[in-house]
Amino acid sequence: MIRGLLLTLLCLSVCCTATWSQQANHVPLSKVKARTTGRMDSMQHVNEVVITSKLTFREVIPSQKLGGKDLQRLSSYSVADAMRYFSGIQLKDYGGIGGVKTVDVRSMGTNHLAVSYDGIVLGNAQNGQIDLAQFSLDNIEEVSLYNGQKSSIFQAASDFASASSVYMRTKMPRFEVGKNTNFKARVKYGASDMLRTSVLWEQRLSSDVSLSTNAEFLTASGKYKFRYRRKNLDGTVAWDTTATRQNGDIHAERVELNLHGVLNQGQWQMKGYVYNSSRGIPGAIVNNVWSRGERQQDLNTFFQASYSKSLGNWFSTRWLAKYAYYHTHYANRDTTVLPVDNTYRQQELYLSTANVIEMLPGWSASLSYDLRWNKLNADTYNFAYPTRWTHMLSLATAIDYRRLKVQASVVGSYVNDHTRQNTQRKTDSQLTPALFANIYPFNVKWLSLRAYVKQSYRMPTFNDLYYTDLGNAALKPEKATQFDAGLLISRHFQSSVFFTLQADAYYNKVKDKIIAYPKGQQFRWTMLNLGEVDIRGIDVVTSLYLPLEELFHLPSLGEGQGVGLTLRAQYTYQKSIDVTDSRKPFYRHQIPYIPEHSGSLIVGLDYKRWSLNYSFLYTGERWNAQVNNDYNYMQPWYTSDLTASYRFSLKKADMRLSLEANNLFDQQYDVIANYPMPGRNFTLGLEMMF
């Protein structure tokens, strides 16, 4: 089946010349694009030139970004691993290479985060969560995080609706003069019997059309040693042993095909994506159970296309389309529980149009509309077979006047659910406004002040509403209000020294928070709107680049072989408390798994062909349940990772050899209670490009 899907996608990519799509969120639109990178002589290069419309992107709230060399430096396999270095992020990691990884931004909850892949939001109506571990960094050019929303009025209506957004952008093919093919291969081998191989092939089909194909294979036993140590409330040791993590194996294949095209004042893109995996679910270590019998198979496929076009400097339009099919097979054959063997089939159809017009110089407005259809089938007993239609309409405007930038938007959403039996119908409509402002005071360009206020909401998922013996069709949507104020300092000094500092203080309020609540009988739960969360926090991100060769007047080492030091640090303070009911024992307690203090540090050093990178992660004390007591207390943890790489040439190929030491000091810790993480481990990698 997989081979048939891949063959179909390949045929579509090579044969189709439809004028769909652009690499959304990258360059919309008015193109004049030089497609080549040419070598003029040994010292000069002409890089790709992109001229965009002034309608395209007026940034009001800057994002956090990792791309290019920054991504290459990290000891990270997936997008989720890289996002640990953003401020305000809490990563839920269940351990191991194949473990599920989801992201929570500013304690809003995973379901309030929109994940966009080349400009189109990834959907999961079943549980609302996107497993970012399924997306490899091998073909990712940049990962961006926006709090509130992306500060561009030229975007889809669903982009305006989310409380925060992650944008993943794949690499755009770039070719040197006279060269029509690029090829890159990577192989990594490391702990837990991990073997990861990937290839990237880029081909110029014509002066305006290029094709890229990326394929990856991953296999691992998932076994690693860990220390399991637990104390009683009186401080005595209850457990202290060393064991090996079991049932964490994974076998996964991913294939992605992209067609890129350039038009007169526009561009288009088509993408086909297939992810197939079979993995064990190691489960929590409780009641002296060290291994589980849970297995899961996933087949995720989608095809998407986008088309962008500008008419001069006064009007631009973008059209998006996507069809996705997700097949999940879950089985639990533990002898201590009733056997489970269920299959879930999820479909999604998405259509979107965004249009922006220049009303006056410095004043533009946009109108966007999204249509999304979701359907979920399963072979479980008494399943509801839900179908959801979602309509979103957004109206936005932007003013750019001297030192002031202002953006305002409002999104109208209408959702209609129905089930096969037509006994459970649910409709909901919401209007959510937002206002963003940025000012450059004191007539300087290196300092900007910004603020925003935004309302958003998220619909209950299919599992929340219709899961057998658990769902509650009367659930109301979660509603969130966000306030933010911050500053950005960005300075270029002499000798190419570059320094940036971002700092934000924020306040979020989440109402009608959806929680699972026991309804009397053992192992029987239901979903209720009981929660209200009050969130206050501070995010600080700073980066510094020091060209040591210039600062200390070292002898020139030649082009591309200088000495440079890169520093990046982030700190997050979050006070996220439950204010649902003053009669409850956990009233005004910190909500589960949210530390008050967390941070990270990245230090990179380049010398000739050598690169050395050190990364540090810290997560402060947390609690794994609503009541903040000694029994639910989780100690702070930190990890240190070290990566060394060396670049060299072998015949016509550029090679890169790397060695990674992860969790260098063998810290024993859990991100999620009773899910132990790997200790010290090593990975050896080789990359070849020609």
* Tens of pLDDT, residues 122-153: 988 888 888 888 888 888 888 999 988 887 88
User: Which residues, 6 or more positions from 304, have their beta carbon under 8 angstroms from its beta carbon?
Assistant: 21, 117, 118, 120, 270, 271, 273, 320, 321, 322, 323, 350
Checking if the pLDDT of 628 tops 90, the result is yes
What pLDDT is stored for residue 560 in this prediction? 57
Q: Stretch 105-111: mean pLDDT, rounded?
A: 84
Q: Stretch 649-674: mean pLDDT, rounded?
A: 90
What pLDDT is stored for residue 518 in this prediction? 52
Checking if the pLDDT of 202 tops 50, the result is yes
With residues binned 3-state (H G I as helix, E B as strand, rest as coil), the percentages for the chain, rounded to 5, are: 10, 55, 35
Helix runs in 48-180, H state only: 69-73, 79-83, 157-161
Weakest mean pLDDT among 44-48, 487-491, 548-552: 44-48
pLDDT tens-digit profile of 173-194? Answer: 888 888 899 999 999 999 889 9
Nearest to 638 by CA among 618, 620, 621, 622: 618
Q: Both ends of the chain: CA-CA distance in Å?
A: 32
CA distances from 451 to 151, 154, 216, 430, 458 (A): 12, 20, 42, 24, 23
Checking if the pLDDT of 5 tops 70, the result is no
User: Which residues, 6 or more positions from 31, have their beta carbon under 8 angstroms from its beta carbon?
Assistant: 50, 51, 52, 262, 263, 264, 265, 266, 267, 310
Q: Stretch 195-212: mean pLDDT, rounded?
A: 94
CA distance 198 to 527: 42
CA distance 291 to 59: 50
DSSP 382: T
What pLDDT is stored for residue 589 in this prediction? 93
Of residues 107 and 50, more confidence is placed in 107
Q: Which CATH superfamily is domain 2-689 in?
A: TonB-dependent receptor, beta-barrel domain (2.40.170.20)
Strand, helix or coil for residue 652 = coil
User: Which residues, 6 or more positions from 674, have their beta carbon under 8 angstroms from its beta carbon?
Assistant: 284, 285, 286
CA distance 88 to 570: 9
Weakest mean pLDDT among 76-90, 303-317, 519-533, 592-606: 519-533
Checking if the pLDDT of 6 tops 70, the result is no
What pLDDT is stored for residue 2 in this prediction? 40
Count other Cβ atoms within 10 Å, centred on residue 284.
15
CB neighbour burial string for 648-671, b if at least 16 within 10 angstroms, e if fewer:
eeeeeeeebebebbbbbeeebbbb
Q: Stretch 335-350: mean pLDDT, rounded?
A: 88
pTM of the model: 0.85
pLDDT tens-digit profile of 485-531? Answer: 999 999 888 768 899 999 999 999 998 887 765 544 333 445 667 67
CA distance 181 to 200: 11
Weakest mean pLDDT among 81-85, 222-226, 662-666: 81-85
CA distance 207 to 202: 14
Q: Stretch 111-129: mean pLDDT, rounded?
A: 87
pLDDT tens-digit profile of 363-411? Answer: 999 999 999 999 999 988 888 899 999 999 999 999 988 889 999 999 9
What pLDDT is stored for residue 190 in this prediction? 92
Burial class for 90, CB neighbours closer than 10 Å (0-12, 13-18, 19+): buried
| Mean pLDDT of all residues belonging to the chain | 83
CA distance 204 to 110: 39
pLDDT tens-digit profile of 261-282? Answer: 999 999 999 999 999 999 988 8
CA distance 427 to 458: 13
Checking if the pLDDT of 45 tops 60, the result is no
pLDDT tens-digit profile of 423-464? Answer: 656 788 999 999 999 999 988 888 999 999 999 988 888 888
Q: Stretch 475-482: mean pLDDT, rounded?
A: 89
- CA triple 672-675-681, angle to 5 deg: 110
